[in-house]
Amino acid sequence: MNIKLISTLLLTLVTLASGLTSNDAAANTSVWKVSKDNDFIYLGGTIHILPVSEFPLPQEFTNAYQKSDAIVLEAKLPEATDTAFQMKMMQMMLYQNGQTLSGVLSKSTYRQLSDYLAGFGADINTLNGFKPGFIITMMAMLEAQRAQLSGDGVDAYFNQKALKDAKAIEYLESADFQMNMLASMGQGHEDKFIKMNLSQMEDFKTMFSQMIKSWRVGDIKALEKLVIEPMKEDPKSYQTMLVDRNKNWVPLIEKMFNDNDKEFVLVGVGHLIGDKSVVKLLEQKGYSVKKL
């Protein structure tokens, strides 16, 4: 298991939206310019997995990248060959205290999950020791592959481009932080968590295809309908994965206005829209935010 699995889960559960002002309605992609006095940075809302057919990206992303001295990602993306990282992640995703998935789920939910996984040729007995966060991540990956919608996302694309161009890469949080967050998903309400996500996987291809289309053209209201409503069915995850992280990131972003570089901050698009978003928090602090 690698960092792409984390990104998939964050995209599936956290790519949120809510209505913005009428000025945003005319915008045609998910890039913002944040200004203070004569200084500015760019914010790019990303899709963490994206099929090859969706490239090239909207021109606004390329323009922001070219005008920036550094990119800023959520967390460092480990190499696919980093077996030490993958082993560490697997250990974190496994129950360590004798607990099992079957022990935290009702019999009916466990049976429903077993039937679902069997549809992909997976045996739930081999996964009984894994935590719900791992299971949900795997489900999202399997659905994306079945729908032929999997592929490296916007973050991975710009990460590779920055490495090739010798452009600085900075991070908002550590990979360990993201692993801990994923490992704790659904903790204390595992049965409801699994049932909710099984329900949301029923029409994954349609939902995800519409999400990509809406992200590409900056259709905020469509994203709200597609993602924010189901996300809020799990208030604890909504708070942990979105609201709290947005609050943590804003001070880090504010520090970017105190240097001579121009940064292009690339995070899941759900972090940039809605009344608790990074964009809204920056606006409340007096920054000028314009959607490109």
pLDDT the model gives residue 25: 38
d(CA 57, CA 88): 33
pLDDT in the model for residue 81? 77
Return the amino acid letter for 12: T
Strand 70-73 to 39-46 pairing: unpaired
In the structure, how many helices (H) and strands (E) does the chain have?
Answer: 16, 6
CA dihedral 268, 82, 182, 265 (to 10 degrees): -20
CA 242 centroid distance within chain = 9
Please tell me whether residue 219 adopts helix, strand or coil conformation. coil
- Give the residue from 97, 89, 204 showing the smallest Cα distance to 145: 204
Instruction: Find, among 63, 48, 49, the residue nearest to 266 by Cα.
Output: 48
pLDDT of residue 18: 28
Q: What is the Cα–Cα distance from 46 to 31, expressed in whole angstroms?
A: 9
Q: What is the per-residue pLDDT for 284?
A: 97
pLDDT of residue 232: 75
Question: Looking at residue 28, what is its pLDDT?
Answer: 73
Within 10 Å of residue 251's Cβ, how many Cβ atoms?
10
Determine how many CB atoms are found less than 10 A away from the CB of residue 247. Answer: 12
What is residue 225's predicted lDDT score, i.e. its pLDDT?
A: 74
Looking at residue 13, its pLDDT comes to: 40
Q: What is the edge-to-edge ordering of all strands in the sheet holding 70-73?
A: 168-171, 70-73, 263-268, 39-46, 31-36, 288-291
Q: How far apart are CA 12 and CA 211, in angstroms?
A: 10
b/e map 98-129, b = 16+ CB within 10 Å: eeebbebbeeebbebbbebbeeeeeebeebeb
Q: Using alpha carbons, select from 272, 30, 43, 55 the residue that is nearest to residue 151.
A: 55
**235: exposed, middle or buried (C-beta count within 10 Å: 0-12, 13-18, 19+)?**
exposed
Domain ranges of the chain: 3-291
pLDDT value, residue 269? 86
Q: DSSP readout, 79-117?
A: -TT-HHHHHHHHHHHB-SSS--HHHHS-HHHHHHHHHHH
pLDDT truncated to tens, each residue of the chain (292 aa)?
333 444 344 444 443 322 223 233 344 788 999 999 989 999 999 988 889 999 999 999 999 999 999 999 999 987 777 888 888 888 999 998 889 999 999 999 999 999 999 999 999 999 999 999 999 999 988 999 999 888 888 999 999 999 999 999 999 999 899 999 999 999 999 999 999 899 888 888 888 888 899 899 888 787 767 766 777 778 888 888 889 999 999 999 999 998 889 999 999 988 888 888 999 999 999 999 998 8
Per residue in 17-55, is it b (16+ CB within 10 Å) or e — as a string? bbebeeebeebebbbbbbeeeeebbbbbbbbbbbbeebe
How far is Cα 105 from Cα 108, in angstroms, rounded to an integer? Answer: 8
Is the Cβ–Cβ distance between 162 and 114 less than 8 Å?
A: no
